Structure 1
Amino acid sequence: MKITARELNRATLHRQLLLERASLDVAEGVRRVVALQAQQPGSPYVALWNRLAGFDPAGLDAAFTDRTVVKATLMRITLHAVHAEDYPVFREALQPTLYASKLGSRTGLPPAEVLALVPGLLDFTAVPRGTAELRAWLEERVGAEARDGAWWGLKGYAPLHHHPTGGPWSFSDRPSYVAAGSGPLPEGPEGAPEALRRLVVRYLEGFGPASVADLAQFGMLRRGPVRQALRALDGEVERLEGPAGEELFDLVGAERPDGATPAPARLLGMWDSVLLAYADRSRVVPPELRRTVIRVNGDVLPTLLVDGRVAGVWRPADGGIEATAFAELPEPVWDELAEEARSLCALLAGRDPELYGRRYGHWWAKLPTGRVRLLPG
């Protein structure tokens, strides 16, 4: 079966709840979309505001506090917010990636020595611990010279959750860590085939259809194990032919809306998952805009989504949202964006009107010429 570019786009938006805001609670919303990028504390809130009808940020505050939704280093070795029930499986499936990237280099110690610290570290973080406490704990065990390298590896490798520390978006720039408390202890560089199969299914539920390269990109996984996982799911997964003739995979019976399905305008936050979960990002990001919105240092600017594809960028400004479109947009689209901007400003007003502060402002001087409007808040 062949799938067109618009059908692929609409399938993605449907599964990411971007065709229509869903009437779900926060935990179920996070489960449905699988994983939310969470490098910047405000991003999961903007992501859910885009996806859930009547989103109340207090619901996400509560979910982080009671650990129904957890924030941890996972896919692509970056911070993600996921449903607590998904975390152990995702962490186990990503074991080879995390081991290689966090224990295989830069710690200054043999991997076995760092690995031997994990059980004690998890005992110590049975209650939340700040960075200073954790460095002091490590210094007692490995010495001052090796402390920082060991902590660099362990904070990304060990099964730790980020503990809420307050601030407008639950987490501040002074992280606190607590042991995940579920799932097997990581023991070495080997993967867990069953966990990887479950990760593949969850990925396709939230981001499919997708290629082997897309799946590998999502988790920074090797393609060989991904192919093995797909073969093991024979009967649960079907093959499709993508717009350029590429081989795609999807769950049997998964819903894929018609390409003519309308896609409403959205104001996606920084690092929105729908922009990053694929090797081929052209399903949502036009190739000519990829380097504009995904910067060389990994920053991903807040974007305008128009007819299901990136059409520009936005940032908070005095009096509302400053939107920059890189092509002419019809007035009804600007009206849609203005309505979204009013809703977003209401979300930000009680929290942090600047949202990302000075994180990305310098990029605006490097943007191509666009059509700029202030959308009143």
Structure 2
Amino acid sequence: MTTLSHRALNRALMDRQFLLARTDRTPLEVIGRLVALQAQEPNWAYVGLWSRIDGFTQPLLTALLEDRRVVRSGLLRSTQHLAAADDFRRLRPLLQTVLDRTAASPHFTRNSTGLDPASLVSDALGLLAGGTLSRKELARRLAERHPGRDGRILAGQAELSTPLVHGAATGAWGSWGNRSAVSVTPADAWLGRPMAVTASAAGARESAKELIRRYLAAFGPAGVKDAQAWCGLTRLGEVVAEMRGELRRYRDPDGRELFDLADAELPDPGTPAPVRLLPAFDNVLLGHADRTRVISDEDRKHVMPGQARVRPTFLVDGRVHGTWSLDAGALRLTPLRPLADPDRAALEQEAERLLPFVGGAAVNWSS
């Protein structure tokens, strides 16, 4: 069994994430290839596509949201993602157990003691009546129906427990940090089609296999724990075991078993990787349990200082080399270690290219 170096794994990831070279594929095709695009803060998803697609502009994604071909909702790891509408219809039912697990956490259950989860969903859907409400209004009405309980937490629990899609304006460019303006609509009403239904355990198993194939196409080669960390599902080892005949096997530098699609090509580890600026919560940093192919454990402490934080980063030679931020029109670059002069120049040039996209006025450096 071939052992792949960290550099070989890095170049495979960069290639499959369109970070070795920008692609001329459409935003819909790229979102589909990546399975789903992290979108806690709507603007960051736009930056992620800018870093991957040649000539990408904001209206290209906004139009997909307005046309309901891309939707924003809770998905992988119970967090907000953008996904192609057809993918969302198939994936959300498969991942519902992950969201249910989050909805059953103490943060929610302390507020809903004695309230049947199915009744809460029924109440929320009844209040929505197939239409749209802001999260704030849904919370207010649920609180009226259940006095003494926090309506915001009830609304969040309902959103986890049944597929609710965010309105197009919620995910559009310019809605940075305005979470109170999020609107929700039952997914089947928003999409005009019912969610996919898995009729049997065998059907669910086949759906899980397809999810693993798509994960490997975007993040492979990878191990079972990597896939589980990415999507939140458990017991995927059993699924992968059934797929062994169709998958190629490798080892990582620490001897862990990795899997990949049989026909997936690996780029030459010597392939140059250009500098790239990645948004907060970028897929590249969240796609594996072992993230050393793209970021060291020491650097990870600076980039991911808390469970719910992943700072914007920049890549040099395919690996995280620092963070960046926007502050009063300035795009500030903060290296984690000294940069060689050519890398510093290339990074500054890439940051200058990003400035008009994010509405910045200048590039600054932090020591």
Fold match by TM threshold 0.5: yes
Tell whether 2:241 aligns with 1:238: no
Pick aligned residue for 1:217 from 198, 217, 229: 229
Asked if the contact 1:320–1:342 (Cα under 8 Å) also holds between the matched residues in 2, the reply is: no
Matches of 2:276 and 2:105, distance apart in 1: 40
Q: CA deviation at 1:90?
A: 2.0
Instruction: Give the Cα–Cα distance (whole angstroms) in 2 for the partners of residues 318 and 331 of structure 1.
Output: 27
Matched AA of 1:90? L
Task: Give the superposition deviation at 1:373.
Answer: 2.5
Distance 2:130 2:26 in 1: 28
Per-residue deviation, 1:165: 2.9
Instruction: Read off the aligned partner of 1:88 and give its amino acid letter.
Output: R
Matched, 1:158 2:162: yes
**Secondary structure at the counterpart of residue 72 of structure 1:** strand
Mapping of residues 2-41 of structure 1, within 5 Å: 2-41=3-42
Tell me, yes or no, if the aligned pair for 1:93 and 1:199 is still in contact at 8 Å. Answer: no
Q: Choose the corresponding residue for 1:175, options 176, 182, 193.
A: 182
Say if 1:4 and 1:101 are closer, same or farther in 2 by CA, change over 3 A: same
Q: Which residue of 2 aligns with 1:294?
A: 304
Supply the distance in 1 between the matched residues of 2:121 and 2:272 (Cα, whole angstroms).
50
Structure-2 residue corresponding to 1:44: 45
Q: Which amino acid aligns with 2:185?
A: V
Deviation at 1:6, TM superposition (A): 0.7
User: Which residues of structure 2 form unaligned runs of 5+?
Assistant: 189-193
Asked if 1:127 corresponds to 2:131, the answer is yes
Give the equivalent residue in structure 2 for 1:348: 358
Where does structure 1 differ by over 6 angstroms across 4 or more consecutive aligned residues?
none
Match of 2:365 in 1: 373
CA gap of 1:184–1:133, structure 2 versus 1, over 3 A, is farther
In the TM superposition, what is the alpha-carbon distance from 1:205 to its structure 2 partner?
1.3
1: CA distance, partners of 2:114 / 2:277: 43
Note if contact 2:121-2:161 (Cα within 8 Å) is conserved in structure 1.
no
After superposition, give the CA deviation of every residue in 1:261-293 in whole Å (9 maximum; x if it has no partner).
110001111111101111101110112211011
Q: More displaced, 11-20 or 199-208?
A: 199-208
In structure 2, relative to structure 1, the CA distance for the partners of 1:319 and 1:128 (3 Å cut) is closer
Partner of 1:268: 278
Q: What is the CA-CA distance between 1:34 and the residue it aligns to?
A: 1.8
| Contact 1:93–1:193, Cα closer than 8 Å, also in 2 | no
Residue 11 of structure 1 deviates from its aligned partner by 0.6
Structure 1 residue 207: Cα displacement: 0.9
SS in 1 for 2:222: coil
- For 1:28 and 1:114, the matched residues in 2 are separated by 36
Normalising by structure 2, we get a TM-score of: 0.87
2:100, 2:160 within 8 Å by CA — same for their partners in 1?
no
Q: Distance in 1 between matches of 2:63 and 2:318?
A: 31
CA contact (8 A) 2:90 2:196 kept: no
TM-score between both structures, scaled by the size of structure 1: 0.85
For the 8 Å contact 2:124–2:155, the answer to whether it is kept is: no
Given residue 22 of structure 2, which amino acid in structure 1 is its aligned partner?
R
Structure 1 residue 233, shift from structure 2 partner:
2.3
Q: Which residue of 2 aligns with 1:200?
A: 212
Change over 3 Å in CA distance of 1:8–1:131 after alignment to 2: same
Q: Distance in 1 between matches of 2:173 and 2:233?
A: 34
Q: Is the 8 A contact 2:198 2:204 kept in 1?
A: no
Are residues 1:96 and 2:97 paired? yes
Q: How far does the alpha carbon of each residue in 1:97-116 deviate from its partner, in whole angstroms, 9 at most, with x for none?
A: 21122046423446982224
Q: Which whole-Å CA distance do the structure 2 matches of 1:111 and 1:260 have between them?
A: 60
Aligned partner (choices 121, 143, 148) of residue 146 of structure 2: 143
Structure 1 spans left out of the alignment, 5+ residues: 355-371
Aligned to 2:191: none
- Partner deviation per Cα, 1:179-205 (whole Å, 9 max, x = no partner): 111324799xxx932322222112111
Q: How much does 1:214 deviate? A: 0.6
Note the aligned Cα RMSD (angstroms): 2.6
Query: What SS does structure 1 have at the residue aligned with 2:306?
Result: coil
**Letter aligned with residue 323 of structure 1:** L
**Partners of 2:274 and 2:346 in 1: CA distance:** 8
Report how far residue 178 of structure 1 moved. Answer: 1.3
Whether the 8 Å CA contact 1:304–1:311 is kept in 2: the answer is yes
Match of 1:284 in 2: 294
Q: Decide whether aligned partners of structure 1 residues 125 and 283 sit closer, same or farther in structure 2, where only a CA change above 3 A counts.
A: farther
SS in 2 for 1:85: helix
Closer, same or farther in 2 for the Cα pair 1:208/1:156, shift >3 Å?
A: same
1:327 Cα shift? 2.0
Q: Percent identity?
A: 35
Q: Kindly tell me: are residues 133 and 179 of structure 1, through their superposed partners in 2, closer, same or farther at Cα, counting changes over 3 Å? A: same
Are residues 62 and 331 of structure 1, via their aligned partners in 2, closer, same or farther at CA, if it must alter by over 3 Å?
same
1:295-352 alpha-carbon deviations (Å, 9 max, x no partner): 1242111111000000011122566422121222222212211221112111012xxx
Q: SS at 2:65's partner residue?
A: helix
